[in-house]
């Protein structure tokens, strides 16, 4: 009996492994990112489906810019907030993954945390935001492919141009114009911290839908930047400890009103 159970477990594990592999993009698609900008990403397609289900018109604000046209302030803010070890790891921060798993077990849900910038690129370009073990395993595989095929600067460039920064807002250029009325190349320290603060939950930690919560998250990013020496202001003026993490929430995400016509 025990042998049959073992065989059934092995067969189920093998079948699940095949299922995970079947949902991966072609390796050639990942390699192509080294020279070709992704068009419509998996998250963009997800948001379009959600908008149509809610009987809303899908919207997409995005302007691709090279890394050379992104403010150094924003690069510093994003890396220190989302993945401080980005230039040192090979796609996965195992310490962050461990902390995330411990939090998931404690809260008995999929809590945010543990995803590196490379993993977020894999999720945004090829998959979606729906949390599941299967998506995470696929994300890890694609992340390893990207780390082998793309230089770090290219991964960061893709990240800054495709991630969500609000309802229908994708990439740092569209976000800079939407929230601060200027190009990404001209963002100051506080503005860069404001955009980086939104990344964990761009529809909730948002200066339009929840300015109070956004301001708290922005201050936290400024504290992290100051501690790392990326801003001129003294950490002491921002407090002895960083403001509490704005966190994430379950439930429907708010939508922003349409921007005024240009």
Rounded Cα distance between 86 and 102, Å, is: 22
16 Cα distance to chain centroid: 27
Alpha-carbon span 140 to 10, nearest angstrom: 22
What lies within 8 Å, CB to CB, of 236 at 6+ separation is none
Axis crossing angle, helix 42-53 with helix 117-126, rounded to the nearest 10: 50
Q: How far is CA 104 from CA 65, 121, 128, 175, 199, in A?
A: 36, 22, 19, 30, 20
Residue 163 CA to residue 157 CA, distance in Å, equals 11
- The owner of tokens 């229908």 is 168
107-136 burial code (b ≥16 CB/10 A, e <16): eeebbebbbbbbbbbbbbbbbbeeeeeebb
- Which region holds residue 60: left if phi is over 0, alpha if psi is between -120 and 50, else beta? beta
In this prediction, residue 98 carries a pLDDT of 72
Could you tell me which of 136, 141, 148 has the C-alpha nearest to residue 90? 148
Whether this model's pTM surpasses 0.85: yes
164-198 residue pLDDT tens:
999 999 999 999 999 999 999 999 999 999 999 99
Would you state the pLDDT for residue 29?
96
* Cβ pair 86, 107 in contact under 8 A: no
**Residue 187 CB partners (closer than 8 Å, separation 6+):** 71, 73, 74, 176, 180, 195
Per-residue pLDDT of the chain (262 residues; tens, 9 = 90+): 688 888 888 999 999 999 999 999 999 999 999 999 999 999 999 999 999 999 999 999 999 999 999 999 999 999 999 999 999 998 887 776 677 666 666 666 555 557 899 999 999 999 999 989 999 999 999 999 999 999 999 999 999 999 999 999 999 999 999 999 999 999 999 999 999 999 999 999 999 999 999 999 999 999 999 999 998 765 555 555 555 665 555 545 666 666 555 5
Between CA 7 and CA 212 the distance in angstroms is 56
- Residue 156's CB is within 10 A of a number of other CB atoms, namely 22
């Amino acid at each position: 009996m025990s042998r049959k159970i073992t065989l059934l477990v092995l067969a189920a594990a093998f079948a699940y492994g095949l299922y995970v592999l079947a949902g991966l993009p072609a390796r050639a698609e990942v390699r192509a990112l080294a020279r070709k900008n992704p068009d419509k990403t998996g998250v963009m397609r997800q948001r379009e489906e959600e908008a149509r289900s809610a009987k809303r018109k899908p919207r997409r604000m995005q302007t691709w810019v090279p890394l050379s046209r992104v403010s150094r302030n924003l690069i510093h803010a994003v890396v220190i907030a989302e993945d401080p070890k980005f230039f040192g790891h090979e796609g996965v921060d195992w310490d962050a993954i461990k902390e995330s798993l411990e939090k998931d077990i404690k809260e008995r849900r999929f809590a945010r945390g543990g995803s590196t910038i490379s993993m977020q690129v894999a999720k945004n370009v090829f998959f979606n935001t729906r949390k599941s073990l299967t998506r995470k395993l696929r994300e890890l595989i694609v992340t390893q492919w990207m780390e082998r095929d793309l230089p770090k600067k290219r991964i960061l460039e893709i990240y800054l141009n495709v991630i969500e920064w609000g309802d229908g807002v994708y990439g740092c250029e569209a976000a800079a114009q939407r929230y601060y009325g200027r190009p990404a190349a001209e963002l100051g320290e506080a503005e860069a911290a404001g955009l980086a603060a939104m990344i964990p939950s761009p529809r909730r930690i948002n200066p339009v839908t929840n300015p109070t919560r956004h301001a708290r998250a922005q201050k936290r990013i400024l504290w992290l930047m100051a501690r790392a020496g990326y801003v001129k202001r003294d950490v002491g003026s921002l407090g002895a400890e960083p403001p509490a993490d704005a966190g994430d929430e379950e439930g429907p995400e708010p939508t922003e009103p349409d921007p005024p016509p240009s």
